[in-house]
Amino acid sequence: MGPEPDSNIFLTILILLLFTFLNAFFVLCESSILNVNVHNMNKQAEEGNKRAKRILQLMNNPKTITTYQVLTTMFAFFACAFAYQKFAPSLIGWMETFMPIHHTVLSGFALVIIAFILLIFFLIFGVMIPRRIGIFRSDGVAMRICGIYNGVCILLFPITWILYTIVAQISRIFGVAPDAKRKGITEEGILTMVDKGEETGAILENEKELITKIFEFNDTTASDIATHRTDVVAVEDTATLSDIVQLSLKGGYSRVPVYHEDLDNIVGIVYVKDLLKYVGNHMNNAASVIDIMRKPYFVPETKLCSELFTELSERKIQIAVVIDEYGGTAGIVTMEDILESLVGNMEDEYDREDQEIVKIDETTYRMKGIASIDEVSDELDMELPQEEYDTIGGFVVELLGHLPREGEHPTITYKNVQFTVELMKDNRIATLLVELFPITDTEQTEAEESAEQQ
């Protein structure tokens, strides 16, 4: 027979509960302090809140984590050792009645059983529950317990300093500097979190789109969003004010570029609102646009939109002329174009409904030749190659190998998509009819193999 059960079983359980409570308390301290709202804490600290200042100090002190690790490891070790000492004799005695195995082996079994039971209890009540509370009620909890935790950190400073120094020196062997800090969140990391947020419903699709566009905005250039020179509506410097009025009434334009001889020599911008001063007064319809045009602002096509936005805002102008590397006019860009690159199309009462991609049915689209490759790829849910062209019209011309003549309606197929030229205008593809066909099993296999190779 084994030894009699411990008569002080109640005291034993009470001591184990004490170890669990202490472990839970310091897990709560660590999780709440490291998960506080930093912006809120900084604000309160600036207002003179001493607890907020102390929390920020603890957050930025690597020894805070060391203190937590020392305490939780110590409590877990002491609890396991104490439980084994108190319960092992009785457990071993009970196992000896039906397991004729050496006492040392039974001691090992007893240690595993006691440690496993204690581990489950410790993880639930000493780690997981307090950590969850600390994360979701971080600010309030941190404010209440930061003083106690700070006192414990000071009390254990000699131990944590020794441990931290040893770890730092060993880390040097593996090429990690003692004061090395983990890299901050990257752009890719944020976008990954945004994707997961949309999947879980925490972020709406339009919110994800806006966040993504904000990151893309930093890499967007003036040429990416400018109205191409072939679509620019401009007047020659010999035009009259009457011509501008008629053009504005017909097209709804508020600003019109003025050129001398050809579009590569833009000499000014006419703001239609400058004509308002003639309302009610006599206006010389034969007067030249030169009399009211403003000086144009030129930017290179490589100018980043973020920089362009700042420049236009500071100069209080709404339109700029985009110049290519040879000094010719590549197009024009407006403040509205910049904002639309972030928030999408913004139509006013003068804008006409003029979509570049129109969905006719589930497998058929009508597209303008100037529709961007990116937008077409998104709409068709497929990856179209981007080489020497930015528009779907340029892509189709590349596939055809020649520029179609007016009245010609050639058809070309790329993968499971058929492109038919509907209209040619000014040596450009004006509109296309795009038809989707089901992907065969063979094509699907080839696509998957190609993706794996990439």
Do 14 and 58 share a structural domain?
Answer: yes
With beta carbons less than 8 A apart as the criterion, state whether 228 and 214 touch: no
Do 153 and 60 share a structural domain?
Answer: yes
The answer on pLDDT for 448 being more than 60 is no
Question: Which of these, 132, 186, 138, 152, lies nearest to 69 by C-alpha position?
Answer: 152
Spatial distance between the Cα atoms of 299 and 369, rounded to a whole number of angstroms: 26
- Choosing from 296, 313, 343, the residue where a domain stops is 343
Do 133 and 15 share a structural domain?
Answer: yes
- Choosing from 199, 217, 235, the residue where a domain stops is 217
Give the pLDDT band of residue 280 (cuts 50, 70, 90): low
Q: Which residues contact 118 (CB under 8 A, 6 or more apart)?
A: 16, 79, 80, 83
Give the pLDDT band of residue 113 (cuts 50, 70, 90): confident
Could you tell me if residue 258 is left (phi over 0), alpha (psi between -120 and 50 degrees) or otherwise beta?
Answer: beta
Spatial distance between the Cα atoms of 300 and 307, rounded to a whole number of angstroms: 12
Give the pLDDT band of residue 308 (cuts 50, 70, 90): very high
The answer on pLDDT for 10 being more than 90 is no
Do 258 and 310 share a structural domain?
Answer: yes
The answer on pLDDT for 181 being more than 70 is no
Do 368 and 283 share a structural domain?
Answer: no
Do 414 and 335 share a structural domain?
Answer: no
Do 232 and 192 share a structural domain?
Answer: no
Residue 19 burial by Cβ neighbours in a 10 Å radius (0-12, 13-18, 19+): buried
Q: Does 322 map to a domain? A: yes
Predicted local distance difference test score (pLDDT) of residue 295: 93
The answer on pLDDT for 394 being more than 50 is yes
- Choosing from 319, 343, 367, the residue where a domain stops is 343
Predicted local distance difference test score (pLDDT) of residue 6: 46
The answer on pLDDT for 427 being more than 50 is yes
Q: What is the mean pLDDT of residues 139-167?
A: 85
Give the pLDDT band of residue 180 (cuts 50, 70, 90): low
Which region among 58-62, 122-126, 272-276 has the lowest average model confidence (pLDDT)?
58-62
Q: Model confidence over 86-105: pLDDT tens digits?
A: 877 777 777 777 777 777 77
Q: Does 305 map to a domain? A: yes
Q: Does 426 map to a domain? A: yes
Give the pLDDT band of residue 331 (cuts 50, 70, 90): very high
Predicted local distance difference test score (pLDDT) of residue 375: 83
Predicted local distance difference test score (pLDDT) of residue 90: 76
Q: What is the mean pLDDT of residues 215-242?
A: 86
The answer on pLDDT for 265 being more than 90 is yes
Spatial distance between the Cα atoms of 233 and 210, rounded to a whole number of angstroms: 30
CATH of residue 227's domain is 3.10.580.10
Q: Does 180 map to a domain? A: no
Angle formed at CA 275 by CA 247 and CA 330, multiple of 5 degrees: 50
| C-alpha dihedral, 280 to 285 to 288 to 289, nearest 10° | 50
Q: What is the mean pLDDT of residues 24-46?
A: 86
Q: Does 2 map to a domain? A: no
Task: Supply the range of the domain harboring residue 431.
Answer: 357-453
CATH of residue 441's domain is 3.30.465.10
Number of domains into which the chain is organized = 4
Do 274 and 161 share a structural domain?
Answer: no
Mean residue pLDDT across the chain = 81
Do 444 and 413 share a structural domain?
Answer: yes
Do 85 and 163 share a structural domain?
Answer: yes
Do 163 and 289 share a structural domain?
Answer: no
Q: Does 1 map to a domain? A: no
3-state per-residue secondary structure call for 117-162: HHHHHHHHHHHHHHHHHHHHCHHHHHHHHHHHHHHHHHHCHHHHHH
Give the pLDDT band of residue 453 (cuts 50, 70, 90): very low
- In this prediction the pTM is 0.51
Q: What is the mean pLDDT of residues 236-256?
A: 85
Q: Model confidence over 435-444: pLDDT tens digits?
A: 998 876 555 5
Give the pLDDT band of residue 4 (cuts 50, 70, 90): very low
Q: Does 146 map to a domain? A: yes
Q: Does 182 map to a domain? A: no
Predicted local distance difference test score (pLDDT) of residue 258: 93
Do 196 and 327 share a structural domain?
Answer: no
